[in-house]
Structures are given as C-alpha cells and as structure tokens.
Amino acid sequence: MKMPPNILMIMADQFRLTTLQGMGDNIPTPNIKRIMDQSVVFTRGCCSCPLCTPSRASLATGKYPSRCGVPVHDAVLPPEQPTYYQALRQAGYRVGIVGKSDLHKADKYCGNGALPSMYHYGFTDPVETEGKMNSAWYVKNEAGEAIPAGLYQRYLNARGPERLAALNEDYRSYLREKRRFYAAPSVLPEEDFLDNFIGRMACTWLEQVESDVPWHGFISFAGPHNPWDPPLADYEKFKNADLPAPLADNLDGKPEWVRRRAEQETGGMTVEQAMKMRRCYAASVQVVDCWVGRLLDILERRALADNTVVIFCADHGEMLGDHGLLEKKVMYEASVRIPLMVHLPGMTTRRDSDALVQLMDLAPTCMDLAGVDYDRRCLDARSLLPLLQGEHGPDAQPHQVQISELLNSLMIFDGRYKWIRNWNDRDELYDLETDPQELHNVIEEHPEIIQRLKQYTFMH
C-alpha cells in the first residue's frame, strides 16, 4: 500500500499576487517559478481576511474568521476549534512548523519554539518563531537584562545582546518616529536577518525529517512583511531596479475612512521614497525566494520530490502604495489577492485556474490528499482536489463567490463584481472586468448587482 503524500506548504507573509514572476511587479522569483512551472496556479486566489492572525486561523480551521473565533489581530485561536493539523496528526502524519504561526498572537511568547499549545494545535514538530514586528520586542528583568520572547530573540541575544537591542531600537523608531513607508537595509548582519534564520531552520528540519511516516511541513517566512529592511547585500541588487510605481488614485468614490488613511500613510510621499520602499520589498522577496530554492533542492536530493505535494501561498497581500495605502486591512486587490499554487506529484507543466478559491480551502485539500475523513458541513472551505485533478464544471468549483472579512468591512466577489460593504461609511462596487484597478465606484449604477449579492450575506 502506497504511503500518503508528504505535504510541503511554504507561506510568505504579506506577499502580493502580482509579485510572482511575470504577474506585474517586475520582481524575479526564479525559485518560486520552479513551483509555478509544475503546478496549478490559482490566478484569483484570495484570503478570507487581509490580516495575519485571522487569515492563518481561517487556514488552520477551514472556517471564516468570524466562525472560528479569531476576527481580530491580537487573538488566540480557541483551543476547542479543530484544526486540519490535528486531523493529519491523528491520521499518522508528522506535522511540523518552522517560522511564524500567529495561532496565539495575543500571547506574544514563543519560548523555545515548542510551546504545549503548539502541540495542541496539531504540530508534532513545532519550531515556532515570532513574526516580523514581534521579533524586536522584549521585556527586561530587574537586572536590566532582555528576556527574549521567542526562539529568534534567544538566537540574537546569544549572538550578542547588542544585536537584539539594535533591532529593538530600529523598530521602535520605525513605529514612533518614521513615516510608515520608511524603508532601509537591515541594521543586522545578513546571517542574522529573521528570514535567513527561519530559512536555515527550515532546511535543517527538511534535511532531518524521517520518511518512515508521511509528513506535513509548514514553512512560514516572516517576510516580505514590513518593516522593509532587507539585508544590505540583497538591497544592493535592487537599489537601482526599474519597478512599477504605485497605482495612482484620486480616491473619488472611496469611503472617507480610506481617504483619511491614505493621507496618513502616504501623504507627501515622494517618488524616490515610494521606489525605495518597493525596492526594499523586492529585496525582501528575494530572500524568501532564495530559501524556496534551497528547500526544493533538499526535496530532490533526498529523493522526496516524487511523493511530496508542494504548495506556495501567502496569508494576505500588500498594498505597497497602491491607492495611497500601505500594508493590508482593506479589500482592494493588492491586499486580498494572494499567490496560491499547488504541485501534485507527477505534474510537469503549469496550468492556470481562475476559480474563486480561498486560502482556507487548503485545509480540506490537505485532508483529502492525506485520505482523512472530515465533515464537510462543518467547514466553510472546500477542497481544491477536483480542480487539481483536472475536473471541470460547477461541481469542481469551490465557491460561487469569494468572501473576505474585517471588523469594519466585508467583501463579496462573484468573479466580475466586487461589493465592499463598509460599516458606517459608503459602500463600494467595482466591475473588475472593465475596471481592474478599482478606480471607479459604480455602487449607484448597479442596484441589481447589490440585490443579487445580498444573498451571500447574513444582512439582507
């Protein structure tokens, strides 16, 4: 009897769909392209929430954030919520994670990377680190010594307390003194950059994982999330790169809260500042891409590739100055669209799918791949396996619409029209067929579209 496949899931944090090679941002990602060239690439992949913690909780549970108990950023996934990691572990899988989990964000403590809570969530091999921003924060004991909150901070402290202190000072300055679009090379040596630390540990895990039972390895990078502070050597490769400018928008028709936020985040930003931000982002992407290549090389060298599913995805996108906005927490394309590609053993060519898939759909997909039974009625997510196996028709489509949630807004997208409900502000409707840049709010012109999309909400 053939062993179920291994699953290598690689996630980047705050990575735009258009950042994939050939998709618009003009950033080379040759190693991610190695996966793309032998995968089903979902060209309209979407997150169920453009915010780290809710999105990752939704992936873990296969439920929308409002249904799994994690609608906000600083939260903890309720321990009574079943995860697909648990289901795989119960089916005999070794379940590893290396990097950022965000399943207990409110705790802000990762210890030595193997907290009991991580075992509860389903991981047999947890090697958890902080995310990008949290990697710099620590408290001091009575003697004035730093008390590291996680594995990466312990590493930096061991390398020299001045390194952790330098990162802390740099990030505090970024948050308290500098504009949000500020970008500059890291204050740390290249080898101490967080994603290089995660990449080394990920390679070690993949080199050492036993092949006596199937495994699921979740490699979760912290970048290219801001602060945009790539290692100097990586920045040097992009410091003169010709990258597209942010999408300009006069914000006519946008809600007032978006206009205020744009002014706060990028008001007065010069062309030079915008390009430096984008170049630092590109250099941060390159760091992730380099480690993706090393992970793929290990799979091939260990002869694991023939029985390993490889997935590349992100928790949400990044505005990067489009519409005058930064980071995420909005329902515009750069924020909600994510890379989502799946390679099954035996695939040798690329196939694009424009199906309305969501990140959380990977939960039942992984359970199907592992041969695990689950109650479909308990999930909002739907398996992508029929699409991966080449099935067509309505039965293979996971969703009639894509839904993404935030506390202040809700997105419903039917494949052409995107309705953004802004609580306590004006709603938006965009026809992405004629207006893919979302510059023209046509909410007043199409009441019939709104009436049709209302069936997918709880508020008619």
**CA triplet 287, 292, 298: central angle to 5 degrees?**
130
Parallel/antiparallel/unpaired status of strands 40-42 and 94-100: unpaired
Range of the domain at 55: 6-400
Give the whole-angstrom CA distance, residue 379 versus residue 213: 27
Residue 389 CB-density burial (10 A; 0-12 exposed, 13-18 middle, 19+ buried): exposed
Provide CB contacts within 8 A for 456, sequence distance 6+: 400, 401, 403, 412
Q: What is the pLDDT of residues 116-150, one digit of tens each?
A: 999 999 999 999 999 999 999 998 888 988 899 99
Residue 102: pLDDT above 70?
A: yes
Shared domain for 346 and 433, answered yes or no, is: no
Per-residue confidence band for 458, with pLDDT thresholds at 50, 70 and 90: low
Residue 269: pLDDT above 60?
A: yes
Task: Kindly report the CATH number assigned to the domain that includes residue 23.
Answer: 3.40.720.10
> Average of pLDDT values for 269-283?
98
Shared domain for 395 and 415, answered yes or no, is: no
Residue 434: pLDDT above 80?
A: yes
Shared domain for 377 and 415, answered yes or no, is: no
**Phi, psi values for residue 295, rounded to 5°:** -65, -45
Going from the C-alpha of 148 to that of each of 105, 129, 161, 191, 435, the distances in angstroms are: 16, 11, 10, 19, 48
CB 104 within 8 A of CB 149: no
Tell me what pLDDT residue 460 has.
29
Q: Residue 1: count other Cβ atoms within 10 Å of its Cβ.
A: 3
Shared domain for 340 and 412, answered yes or no, is: no
CB 146 within 8 A of CB 138: yes
- 1 occurs within a structural domain: no
Residue 72: pLDDT above 70?
A: yes
Shared domain for 196 and 154, answered yes or no, is: yes
Going from the C-alpha of 365 to that of each of 8, 130, 358, the distances in angstroms are: 13, 27, 11
| Residue located via tokens 């321990």 | 79
- 374 occurs within a structural domain: yes
Shared domain for 423 and 334, answered yes or no, is: no
Tokens of 403: 């839904």
Shared domain for 337 and 419, answered yes or no, is: no
Lowest mean pLDDT among 30-34, 41-45, 83-87, 389-393: 389-393
Shared domain for 191 and 287, answered yes or no, is: yes
Q: What is the pLDDT of residues 221-246, one digit of tens each?
A: 999 999 999 999 999 999 999 999 99
Alpha helices in 177-269 (DSSP H): 194-208, 232-238, 256-266
Shared domain for 309 and 458, answered yes or no, is: no
| Element housing 158 (H / E) | helix 151-159
Provide CB contacts within 8 A for 426, sequence distance 6+: 255, 256, 441, 443
State yes or no: cis peptide before 4, omega within 30 of 0.
no
The residue ranking higher by pLDDT, 402 or 3, is: 402
Give the whole-angstrom CA distance, residue 456 versus residue 460: 9
Tell me what pLDDT residue 1 has.
61
Average pLDDT, the chain: 96
- 199 occurs within a structural domain: yes
Residue 33: pLDDT above 90?
A: yes
**Among the listed residues 19, 5, 3, the one whose alpha carbon sits nearest the alpha carbon of residue 283:** 19
CA atoms within 13 A on the CB side of 185: 13
Parallel/antiparallel/unpaired status of strands 340-343 and 308-314: antiparallel
- Mark which of 400, 423, 450 sits at the end of a domain: 400
> Average of pLDDT values for 371-396?
93
Residue 104 CB-density burial (10 A; 0-12 exposed, 13-18 middle, 19+ buried): buried
Per-residue confidence band for 392, with pLDDT thresholds at 50, 70 and 90: confident
| b (16+ CB within 10 A) / e for 410-436 | bbbbbbebbbbbbeebbbbbbbbeeee
- Mark which of 382, 400, 418 sits at the end of a domain: 400
Q: What is the pLDDT of residues 435-446, one digit of tens each?
A: 999 999 999 999
Residue 459: pLDDT above 50?
A: no
Q: CA torsion 382→386→392→396, rounded to 10°? A: -20
Residue 280: pLDDT above 50?
A: yes
- Mark which of 378, 400, 422 sits at the end of a domain: 400
Shared domain for 189 and 80, answered yes or no, is: yes
| CA 322 from centroid of its chain's CA atoms | 18
pTM: 0.97
Question: How is residue 190 annotated by DSSP?
Answer: G
